[in-house]
Copies of this chain bind each other. A is one copy, B any other.
């Protein structure tokens, strides 16, 4: 089975308390693809400019990501984002955004991308997301992200798109904003009422929650004494989550739960270095060791209390 992702491919300029980078590979589809590539075959759909060099293509190649549907606009420039993180590392302060070739991005899916059973619609204009979804009739599990900008500026289109996906993966502030509901559990119920069978709410340093009709599953974030660069953590989570699902023929509750853990595992690696640097160099023993760490930090024995067992 294969997995298609549609979204941004970018150059990022980053400043954090731990250093800076002038121009590194970034973008939602990039972070998603690399993360998912550890678990399944990935088709990336996006657009880049003539400034996209062999060094960047090599990153995709090293992870066997199918880049046939990444359009190259030779006389254009790749989407550029510049941001700064302060000491608390929780909020990105955007310094500059140059959409460049991304401004007129019209995803063109080859037959291979259209035939994928799994599809991730990264954060792009909601109507574009829906048009991509309609191009993939065989997709049996479609997930989407969005952002505050679309909730404010294109809410009707966004609600239509939410109505045609199987899973939404958003952060807690967006879930609250979308539903106008401060309580995260009520917000989740309202989002599931819009159509998706599954909802993942990302909570940054507090981890993530999975909501379905039958499953409620909470995963903490991996304990990190230093977050080096949080850029792309959400897309890396989505990549691990969707990639793991796409390695299975059937999505059961147990598979969804492990997908939440693999998503968290991949996101925890992503923030340890700048951009894609850490995920690019990952191997399976590291991934599985961290998966076991998650088991260790959440496991307890299911022993009910009996008054008689007390010394009282």
A84 within 8 A of B: no
Instruction: Find out whether the CB atom of B182 lies under 8 angstroms from the CB atom of A247.
Output: no
**Interface residue count on the A side (C-beta < 8 Å):** 59
**A306: min CB distance to chain B, Å:** 8
Interface residue stretch chosen among A5-13, A24-32, A290-298: A290-298
- A182 partner, pick from B88, B284, B310, beta carbons under 8 A: B88
Distance, CA A185 to CA B227, complexed state (A): 11
Q: Does A302 contact B (CB under 8 A)?
A: yes
Interface residues in A159-207 (C-beta closer than 8 Å to B): 182-186, 189, 203, 205-207
List CB contacts (< 8 Å) of A284-312 with chain B.
Answer: 284, 287-288, 291-292, 295-307, 309-312
State whether B254 touches A300 (Cβ < 8 A). Answer: yes
Q: Does A223 reach chain B (CB closer than 8 Å)?
A: yes
CB within 8 Å of B: which A264-292 residues:
284, 287-288, 291-292
Q: Which of A105-113, A142-150, A213-221 binds B?
A: A213-221
A52 → chain B closest CB, angstroms = 26
A26 to chain B, nearest CB (A): 24
**Which of B41, B183, B302, B312 sits near A312, CB closer than 8 Å?**
B41
A238 at the interface (CB under 8 A from B): no
* A184 neighbours in B (Cβ, 8 Å): 205
Residues of B near A244 (CB, < 8 A) are 305
The 8 Å CB contact of A87, one of B182, B284, B298, B312, is B182
- Which stretch in A70-78, A122-130, A131-139, A255-263 binds the other chain? A255-263
List of B residues within 8 angstroms of A260 by Cβ? 300
- Known A-B contacts: A40-B311, A295-B300. Give 11 more (CB < 8 A): A1-B312, A184-B205, A185-B223, A244-B305, A247-B309, A247-B312, A257-B300, A284-B306, A288-B304, A291-B302, A292-B304
Nearest 8 A/B pairs, CB to CB: A218-B220, A247-B310, A288-B304, A257-B300, A206-B206, A1-B311, A41-B312, A295-B302
List chain A positions with a Cβ less than 8 A from chain B.
1-2, 38-41, 87-88, 182-186, 189, 203, 205-207, 209, 216-218, 220, 223-226, 244, 246-247, 249, 254, 257-258, 260-262, 284, 287-288, 291-292, 295-307, 309-312
